[in-house]
Each structure stands twice: as C-alpha cells, then as structure tokens.
Structure 1
Amino acid sequence: MTSGTTPTPQPQAPRTSFLRSATVVAVAMAIMNIAAYGFTLIASRRLMPEQFGAITALLGLLLIGNVASLGLQATGARQLATHTGEGAKELADATLRAGRRSALGLTLLCFVLTPLFMWLLNIDSFVAIVLLAPTLGGLTLMGSQLGVLQGSQRWTELAAVYTASGIGRLVLGGGALIVHPSLDWAMAGLALGAAVPALLGQFFLRGSTGATRKEIREVLRETVHGTHTLLAFFALANADVLIARALLDEKDSGYYAAGLIIAKACLFLPQFVIVLVFPSLANSPGDTGRLRRAIVAVAGLGACAVAGTLILPGLVVEVIGGKEKYAPLGPYTWLFAVAGSAYAVLQLVVYAAIAQQEKRAALAIWIGLVVLVVAAVIVLGTGTATGLNGVKVLAAMTSTCALLLAAGLATGLHRQSTESS
C-alpha cells in the first residue's frame, strides 16, 4: 500500500441486511397484532355481550395453551442457531416432529377437558369448546415451524408465516362473524385461521427429514423447560389484572383494565427485536454486549411510547375506551406505558435466559410473582392506597417488580458467562 492510498471503507452489507430483516419482521408482527385486534373489534360489534365475554374467555385459554407453541419456537430457534456442521435438516425435522407430537397431545387434552371448560367458563356450546382443540393444535404446529425459520434466520419466510397468522384470524375468523354472528362460527373461523400459517410453514419446510428418536426427545425435553419459564413470565405479566379485580373496587379495576391496553401494546411493540436477536444470543451466550444492546433497543422503544403518552394523554384515552368513560385515567397513562415497557425488557431477558439455558430463571420469576401478590395485598388489601391512588400504586409495583427481576436475571446471566469463559 502506498502512502497516498486511503483505507477501503468497511462494507455496510451486514448492517443493511439486518435493518432490512428487522423491518420485514417488524411489519409482519405489526400486521399480525393489528389483525388480531381487528378480529376482537369485529367480535365486540357482531356478538351479544354474553357471547363476546365467552369468546374473550376462549381466547384467554388459547393464550395460555399457546405457551407450548412459544416454548417450541424458542427451543427450535436455539438449537438451530447453535448447530454447526452437517445435520441441519435432521435437526429441523426433529423440531417439526416434536411440534406434531405436542400438537397432537394438546389437541387430545383439550378434547378430554371439554366438559371441564364448559363448566369453568359457563359456556353451553359444546361445538365452540371442542373447536379449541384444532385451533390450539394449529398454533402449536406453527410454533415449531417458526422456531426452525427463526433459528435458520430465514426472516422473509418467518415474516410470511406471522402475516398469515394475523390475516387468517382476521379474514376467516372475522369473516365467519360477518356471515353468521355466533360463538360457534367465530371458533370455526379461528380454527381455520390457525391452519393457514401452519400449512404455509409446512410448505416452506418441506425438505426437512431424517430426525432420530433421540433428537426428537431432546427437543421435547428442552421444550418443557422453555415452556415452564415462559409460563412463569406470562403468569407474572397477567397477574396484575387479577390483583386489580380482587383488591380494587369495580370502577377502579375497570380503570386499571383500560390502562392495561396501553401496557400490553408497549409489551408487544418491541417483540420483533426479541425475534431477531434471539438466535445470536443463543449462538453467542457469553456475548453480554449483544444483550445490552438489545436491552437498550427495547428500552428505547419503551421510552418513545412513554413520551407519547405524556405528550398526547387525551388521544391515548380516546383510543383505549373514550374520554367519557376514562378521562380520569389520562394523567396516569404514562405509568402503564412504563409498566408495559418494563415487562418488555423482562421478556427479552427471559428469552436470553432460555437461550443460555439458565434453569433458575423460572424459579426467580415465580418468587417475583409471590412477592408482588404479597406486597399488593399489604398495600391495597389494607386500604393504604385506594381509588385512583390504588391504580397508580399497582402499576408502579408491577413496573418495579419487572425491572428488578430483569436486572437480577441479567446479572445472573453475566455472572454465568463470566464463569464459563
């Protein structure tokens, strides 16, 4: 090299490729969430209040059962991201076969539990409850397929499956309600909608073959652990609405439920970051710098959401339910944005723990849940904080719990990576 030669700039292709992938996945997940919300809006307008309450309860059951799908996705993504050498098709096949076995098991379990669900949810329609089984089966199959696509970093196909999930629910589920507004038709539409992404994922992954029984058992074993950790997280993330219902009066618990719409939006907003960064977290478990950057990205999106609620509280209240009903909540919407953003950070750290195979994460989260419940009973149950003050205090308590757990788990992961290096 001569003295007059300038250094060649480093190529920006990897960064450009990542930004392109992030955009594709973010748009797909936004479409999925908006479509799911669209189905809920159609249901609220086409069904009688009693039937809308029933479909909401059934969607809650699907949310709980979908934890197995998320566990399969995390397992498949981690194993493929950390896989080196030959055998990727066999490993993908093992994940897909484990997904089929899990889907079959959950489908049969739902069929067996149909009488219990009818009694527990006070729903008379046998058909609607039975249709839970194939719906959950389709979602479980999709989870295993998403895990393979995510671990293989096939972002465009991953985005297509996410989009198909949302469009299937909106077009088939919402369309069924438009044609015939009933609980049975709504569940039939949801069952068909859940089959759409599973069929698309099967088409994308049709070349995966050759898994051994040992590989399938390993995927199932790890899935149980991942599912347990995610179940603990979702139990914690949804405990506050039950606490509010139990310890606040009906009006204030209604205010809290409306505020949770903001919190859930802030929780789901940065999910595309978790999807994109999870394979690299699994592939480089000792790279705490990567986790820090991901936390900064998630926290940054949360800060933007909090700023939006501070600048436009009236608009936020109008969106979540109308100023006539929820005007007193306006000055405190930012607290729910903070709570949702705190849970988003915790969710990222939980996935990092799954990627790093940290087996104590679930226990820590269950302990955090117990502490939150005890603290809420002491503060709200004794009347120390009531009315809107109780709403504010509970939102602050959930934020604090989530941030403390995130900090504790992140510190543990850093210590584990330091000890293993």
Structure 2
Amino acid sequence: MTSETTPDQQPAAPKLGFLRSATVVAVGMAIMNVAAYGFTLFAVRRLVPEQFSAVIALLGLLLIGNVVPLGLQASGARRIATHVGPGREALADALLKAGRRSALGLTAVSLLAAPLLVWALHIDSILAVLLLAPTLGGLTLMGSQLGVLQGSQRWTELAAMYTAVGVGRFAFGAGALVIHPSLTAAMIGVAIGAAVPPLVGAVLLRGSTGGTPAQVKEVLLETVHGTHALLAFFAIANADVLLARNLLDGRHSGYYAAGVIVAKACLFLPQFVIVVVFPTLASSPGDTLRLRRAIQAVGALGICCVLGAYLLPDLVVTVAGGKEQYAALGSFAWIFAAAGSSYAVLQLVVYAAIAQQEKRAAVLIWIGLVTLAIAAFAVLGTELVTGIAAIKTLAGMTAACALVLSAALATGLHRQTAGTPD
C-alpha cells in the first residue's frame, strides 16, 4: 500500500513559500486596487452624479472588454504552468504574439461599437466612448505579459506589473480630472494610464523568441474558450451597473454607482488568492481540497467586508462618495459589500473551471444573467419598487444570483473531478 502526502502533511518550507508568494502578489494587487479605486474616489468628488454614473458605466464596459486580456492571461498561465520540458521561451513568445494580434482586433471592434454604446448608455461625449478602444488595446497587451509571468510563477515581476496598472490609472486619470473635471478628461487619463503596464511588461519580458504560428493559433483557440467563461462572469458582475443606469433615474443611479465602489472593492480584495492558486489548480485539476480552502479564504474575507460595512457605515460613505452627497448609502452599504463578496467567490469558481477546461460553466452563467435581467425589469421596470428601495432590491438580487451560481458551479466541478479515474 502506498502512502500519499495530504496538503495538511506538507512540509513547512513549501507552505512558507506559498505564503511568501501570496504576500508579494497581494501587496502588488493591493497597490493596484488602492490606486485604481483612488481614481474612482477622486472622480466621485470631482464630477456631478450624472457624469460619475457615466464614468462608472464606461469602466464597467472596460471590465467586460477586459475578459480578452484575462482570457489570454489565464490560457497562457495554464499552458506554461502545465508545460514539461524545454520550450518555455517559445511558448512565452507565442503568447506575446497572440496578445498583439488580440489587441489589434479588440481595438477595431471597440471603435466600430462606439456609436451603439453612445446610444445605449445615453452618453453625450463620443470621444469618451472612442477612448475605450486604445484602453482595451493596452490592457490586452498587458494580459499576455501577465500570463507569462503568472505561469512561470515570477511573482515579484508579476506584482510590479499589477502596481503599474494602479499607478498608471491614478496618476493620469486623477491628473486629467485636475486639469478639467469632465467625463472626457477622465477617459483620456484612463487611456494614457493603460499604456503604462505594457511598457513595463515589454522591459521585463524582452528577448522572448521562438514562438511558431502553430503555437500562436493554439493560444488563440484556447483563449476563446477561457474568454467565453470570463465574458459571462464579467457581464453578470457588471450588469447591475448598466441595469441601474437604465432603470433608475439620474440621482438614484448615481447613488447606485457609489455603492458599486463598495461592491467592486470587495470583489477585487481577495483576487490575489486566485492569482496564486490558479497555476496549481491548472497543473493539479483534481485538487478539490485546495479549491475548497481557497473558497473558504475568499468567503472569510467577504464576511469581514460585510461586517465592516455594517458596523462602520459612516466610514464607508465617506470613502465611497462623501458624507453629504451620498449619506443615504450608509444604511445599506453592507448589501453592496455582500454583493461584491458573493461575486468574488463566483470569480474563484470560474477560474477553477477554466483551470479544469470545463466549458459548461459559461452557459450556466449566461442563464443566470438572463434571469437577473428579467427579474430586474419585472421589479424595477414596472416600478414595483422605486427610489432607495429599488437600489436595495437590485443590489440584493445581484448578491443572491452570485451565490446560487457559485454553489451550482462548485458542485459541478466536484462531480466532474469525482468522476475522473484515478
């Protein structure tokens, strides 16, 4: 009979190495998130609620479009993490070439979609919407670079890239709003800031060569599958912002946008757990114990966020949008914290599905999105609830939807692994 070492019996050194890696990535991502949210908080104070709501809507579209960079990162990290033997440099080069092709394609699509977005979101500035194109181009280049660093477990350099994301967003975004507090100025700053990370990545990954056209094609094909799942996730994670923009009046959609600051903070706070655990989930797809522990870690952080928002509402309001203008948010800020934390758990499960090459996850999430939209239109569109009550209802719907989807996806992954022969 052979004996196996369980995760509880692992030597101390690997555990300490994991903690060090997680700490390095957590610090880099914390700087990124603090700086990025610093820009958002700066914008909420420099812009009137209607303009700020438009900024949040466009940033939501960036998050949806960012599924292509994230798909490249996840696919590249999985391929590199599972690669055995020589040839990693060629694989990295193929990923970078795939990133350049994807950046050109996404930029073109964004430019073509600009008129439709102006109409759908009721935004006056066509230039602000057009600036989504170069922003997404820069983010796509960065995604391929992050995939190489993550798959190779080059955590310090990965942390440097994440730091560049936040610093670029805040420095140029806030700087543009200082010069001229407007929607267009904000998006100009965001677009310039998005060029900083790929420049840093180009320096870190200089010299990568050898990628063949066949390898580039393989990366792009796998990216399509990973991007599909992430597109579904980010669509549902940002659908409430777009629903609020269309179903609530200008003032209350502005309140909702301020609440989304709380939700997004709770969504991205535990993201370092996903980044560090993903290569292991890819190379050991049957490791359900590690997945459960990751879910527990993300869930515990979420509970802390909800309790903090419930016990310190005045502080949350001050951070989210300023006490006077958004004072009403305090009594229900914890609902947004619960929604963001619920989507953090769902995000982890989605990445686990990508690591296991599980393609059915996207279909389930799309079904959840349709269900959420129908429920929102049925309740808010018919004005069964209005005003502050409508804000609470929509935020509560998103939290419930995320939790149900997380349970369904996690159960499906467990069954898939249980059915895999040893």
Could you tell me the TM-score, scaled by structure 2's length? 0.87
- Worse overlay, 328-337 or 79-88: 328-337
Equivalences for 1:2-401 in 2 at 5 Å? 12-43=12-43, 56=56, 58-113=58-113, 122-124=123-125, 126=127, 131-178=131-178, 186-247=186-247, 252-381=252-381, 385-401=385-401
Alignment correspondent of 2:5 = none
Distance apart, 1:356 and its partner CA: 0.8
In 1: Cα distance, 2:144 partner to 2:324 partner: 45
Distance apart, 1:174 and its partner CA: 3.2
Q: Which one-letter code corresponds to 1:411 in the other structure?
A: T
Alignment correspondent of 1:4 = none
Query: Could you tell me whether the CA contact under 8 Å between 2:125 and 2:184 is conserved in 1?
Result: no
Q: Which one-letter code corresponds to 1:24 in the other structure?
A: V
Q: Which one-letter code corresponds to 1:401 in the other structure?
A: C
Q: Mark the CA change 1:93 to 1:37 in structure 2 (over 3 Å): closer, same or farther.
A: same
Post-superposition Cα deviations, 1:31-52, rounded to whole Å, max 9, x if no partner, equal 1122222333445566788876
Distance apart, 1:76 and its partner CA: 0.7
In 2: Cα distance, 1:232 partner to 1:377 partner: 20
Q: Mark the CA change 1:125 to 1:340 in structure 2 (over 3 Å): closer, same or farther.
A: closer
In 1: Cα distance, 2:125 partner to 2:384 partner: 41
Post-superposition Cα deviations, 1:288-335, rounded to whole Å, max 9, x if no partner, equal 111100000000100111111222122222322344444444332222
In 2: Cα distance, 1:188 partner to 1:320 partner: 23
In 2: Cα distance, 1:103 partner to 1:50 partner: 31
- Worse overlay, 157-166 or 328-337: 328-337
Query: Could you tell me whether the CA contact under 8 Å between 1:80 and 1:151 is conserved in 2?
Result: yes
In 2: Cα distance, 1:269 partner to 1:247 partner: 29
Query: Could you tell me whether the CA contact under 8 Å between 2:262 and 2:320 is conserved in 1?
Result: yes
Post-superposition Cα deviations, 1:250-277, rounded to whole Å, max 9, x if no partner, equal 6554444333222111111111111111
SS of alignment partner, residue 84 of structure 1: coil
Q: Which one-letter code corresponds to 1:353 in the other structure?
A: A
Could you tell me the TM-score, scaled by structure 1's length? 0.87
In 2: Cα distance, 1:332 partner to 1:183 partner: 28
Unaligned runs of at least 5 residues, structure 1:
1-8
Query: Could you tell me whether the CA contact under 8 Å between 1:90 and 1:208 is conserved in 2?
Result: yes
Alignment correspondent of 2:408 = 408
The structure with the larger Rg is 1
In 2: Cα distance, 1:254 partner to 1:45 partner: 12
Alignment correspondent of 1:3 = none
Q: Mark the CA change 1:219 to 1:11 in structure 2 (over 3 Å): closer, same or farther.
A: same
Query: Could you tell me whether the CA contact under 8 Å between 1:150 and 1:279 is conserved in 2?
Result: yes
Query: Could you tell me whether the CA contact under 8 Å between 1:54 and 1:123 is conserved in 2?
Result: no
SS of alignment partner, residue 420 of structure 1: coil
Q: Mark the CA change 1:318 to 1:351 in structure 2 (over 3 Å): closer, same or farther.
A: same
Post-superposition Cα deviations, 1:93-123, rounded to whole Å, max 9, x if no partner, equal 1111100111122233344455556666644
Q: Which one-letter code corresponds to 1:287 in the other structure?
A: D
In 2: Cα distance, 1:253 partner to 1:117 partner: 18
In 1: Cα distance, 2:195 partner to 2:286 partner: 38
Query: Could you tell me whether the CA contact under 8 Å between 2:50 and 2:251 is conserved in 1?
Result: no
Unaligned runs of at least 5 residues, structure 2:
1-8
Query: Could you tell me whether the CA contact under 8 Å between 2:345 and 2:406 is conserved in 1?
Result: yes
- Worse overlay, 52-61 or 144-153: 52-61
Post-superposition Cα deviations, 1:221-264, rounded to whole Å, max 9, x if no partner, equal 11111111111111111222333455556655444433322211
In 2: Cα distance, 1:10 partner to 1:57 partner: 46
Distance apart, 1:130 and its partner CA: 5.1
Query: Could you tell me whether the CA contact under 8 Å between 2:52 and 2:254 is conserved in 1?
Result: no
In 2: Cα distance, 1:183 partner to 1:369 partner: 28
Query: Could you tell me whether the CA contact under 8 Å between 2:53 and 2:257 is conserved in 1?
Result: no
In 2: Cα distance, 1:243 partner to 1:56 partner: 12
Query: Could you tell me whether the CA contact under 8 Å between 2:236 and 2:365 is conserved in 1?
Result: yes
